[in-house]
Amino acid sequence: MSITPAPAAPGRSPRLRRLVLATTAGAIALSGLVACGSDSSPAKSSPSAPSVAVESAPVTVKDPWVKASDSGMTGLFGTLVNTTGAQLTVVSGTATVAEKTELHEVADVDGKPMMRPKAGGFVIPANSGHELKPGADHIMLMGLTQPLKPGDEVAVTLTLDDGRTVKFTAVGKAFAGGKEDYNPGMTKG
């Protein structure tokens, strides 16, 4: 394609004509490149374009909730889902409404259910889940900094044994079941 410059308009400088001509030629060349892509597929990035790797969360939390409580301690429940092909272990956590957060289990000690810190954390098999529920493994929120009412949202961060973190929000729920004893003096195992 050949571009013939338009006759100079009165008062236009040769420099301005060259700028208009270069801009027009660039626009035509660009429209030709766009027209070459005749299929309706999305544009492909060029090899020189930087690529951004998006890493999915190694663990997601299905149906996270926290037992509503006015003060003291409470438990957090849900299902930890390992989205990777390798075993992962949750080793610690923090929550916005608690001074301290511990991973707990309920174990049979001398024929009585006893709540205690979970040695080694919560192991989640590859491509599988680990349920946190009343009367079993759960996350203990200790030293509540504010009352936790049904519907309240709690920001939680879990730390994996490899140092990665998982953030999620749990919802406060009224729950009378379980009858867990959240009093100080639990046995440490």
Write down all domains in the chain, each with its CATH number in brackets.
Answer: 59-173 (2.60.40.1890)
Structure tokens at 153: 């949202």
**Sequence-ordered list of residues with C-beta below 8 angstroms from that of 31, at least 6 positions apart, any chain:** none
> Dihedral through CA 119, CA 120, CA 121, CA 124, nearest 10?
-130
CA distance 79 to 120: 18
Q: What are phi and psi of 22, to 5 degrees?
A: -65, -40
Beta-carbon count within 10 A of 105 CB? 16
pLDDT of residue 176: 80
Give 10-residue mean pLDDT values along the chain (189 residues): 50 52 44 40 42 67 96 96 96 97 94 93 97 96 96 97 96 78 45
Q: What is the pLDDT of residue 18?
A: 53
Q: What is the pTM of this model?
A: 0.66
Give, for 129, the enclosing helix (H) or strand (E).
strand 129-132
Residue 21's H or E segment, with its range, is: helix 14-36
Those residues whose C-beta lies under 8 Å from the C-beta of residue 28, and which sit 6 or more positions away, are 1, 3
Predicted confidence at residue 13, as pLDDT, reads: 54
